[in-house]
Amino acid sequence: MQSGFAAVAKIEDLPDTGYRVATVGDHSVLLARLDDGIFATENLCSHANSELAGGRFRAGRISCPLHGVIFDFRSGQVMGGTLTSVGLRTFETRVENDTVWVSTTPNPPVLGLMKR
C-alpha cells in the first residue's frame, strides 16, 4: 500500500475507450485511459452536483448528462456548454505492477474556462 493512495483497479480492467467508476475513500471517481496516461476525476458535476457517469465521453472530454457542461478529463477544466466556471477536482494517479493507484486527496478544481 502506498501512503495517501488507494489501489482501485488493475490496468487491464480499464476500458480502451470510455471510463470506469471507482471509489477512493469518500470520493466517487472516474478513471480513464487516454493516450498520455491514466487520469482520475471526480464523478460529480461542479454545476449541479449530479454524477457524471453516464455522460458522453469523447476525445478526453466528458459531458454532464444533466445539463451538458463539458469538462476536460485531464485537468477538470470547463470546456463548453457552460453553466459554471468551476472545474472538477482531479486526482493524481500512479501505475505500479499493473495496479492503478489513485490519490486519496483530490487536487482543487481549476477556475475559469479552458481556451481551446
Please tell me whether residue 12 adopts helix, strand or coil conformation. Answer: helix
- Is the per-residue pLDDT at 101 higher than 60? yes
- Is the per-residue pLDDT at 87 higher than 60? yes
pLDDT value, residue 74: 95
Residue 87 lies in a domain: yes
DSSP assignment, residue 17? S
The domain of 17 spans 5-103
Q: In the numeric block, which cell numbers belong to residue 85?
A: 466556471
Please tell me whether residue 11 adopts helix, strand or coil conformation. Answer: helix
Average pLDDT, stretch 47-74? 92
Residue 116 lies in a domain: no
- Is the per-residue pLDDT at 112 higher than 80? no
Provide the β-strand partners of residue 52.
none
Nearest-angstrom CA–CA distance, 55 and 41: 13
pLDDT 10s digits, 44-56:
998 888 999 999 9
Global pTM? 0.90
Residue 111 lies in a domain: no
Q: How far is CA 102 from the centre of its chain?
A: 11
